[in-house]
Structure 1
């Protein structure tokens, strides 16, 4: 049985490949499941000027952009990798990212550890600026987590997962 949100994704599913995302990597399983919906109902992002993602930190070019599609810098904190060498909230893992949209879906492919590790977020645009979805670690597909995002501008996407932040800048 398809959920209401899965029905909106029919145009992105390539039956020949069996893949929904435009990056031709492993899909995020059940990106609109109950765990995602419960996290989205409780997690908040304000997009405030004093948000930790408000200060420019990315390494991508800073040209003007008409949309969120294209190249970005990414960073995340929290979780097991961040606690190896200190406080989980303060240790940022940085990398590069690419954003593509297909209908109401937004796909964010990103890396960290100098490109050695990669992840994919499959999110549904639930309004003009709110994204709700799930992340998968492409190197260890057993690791999936809910994620929400706030499109603060075409140069800033604030993001949150249950263990910390997962932000994008350019």
Structure 2
């Protein structure tokens, strides 16, 4: 928590000491970590994205190193810093449990008592590919992609995130 204090306590100090892209990124992560205002978080993310394009253009080759580091940090914040009660973590855990149950059914149907790690990985990959083939159906039938929630009841701020999680949990 102390890591975020200098960014959250006095906005002017952070803006003067750090580039906009870094300050906006860390502030957004701090807002998410401290369960702050979604409006502030959204503004900071927009500020970060606006500054990121210029930052990449300025540092070009250095971004080959910074990009994966930044992506890893974004993944950590999206998964709520490892909180097992986070919405996104539960969705992915649920998906893994569904795959595991389907794998057990596969073992029963084939009469196998054990499946090697390679066989398991191959089977899971086949399941993912089948899902993505159904999502990218050339007939335009994309029903599998969309959440069944009524579009009128969705929270406007989080509707995209909720749909993404719904898709991930049905993979």
TM-score range (shorter-chain normalised) is under 0.3
Between Structure 1 and Structure 2, whose CA radius of gyration is higher?
A: 2
Larger helix proportion of the pair:
2
Greater strand proportion:
1
Structure ranking higher on relative contact order (CA contacts 8 Å, 6+ apart) = 1
TM-score by length of 1: 0.23
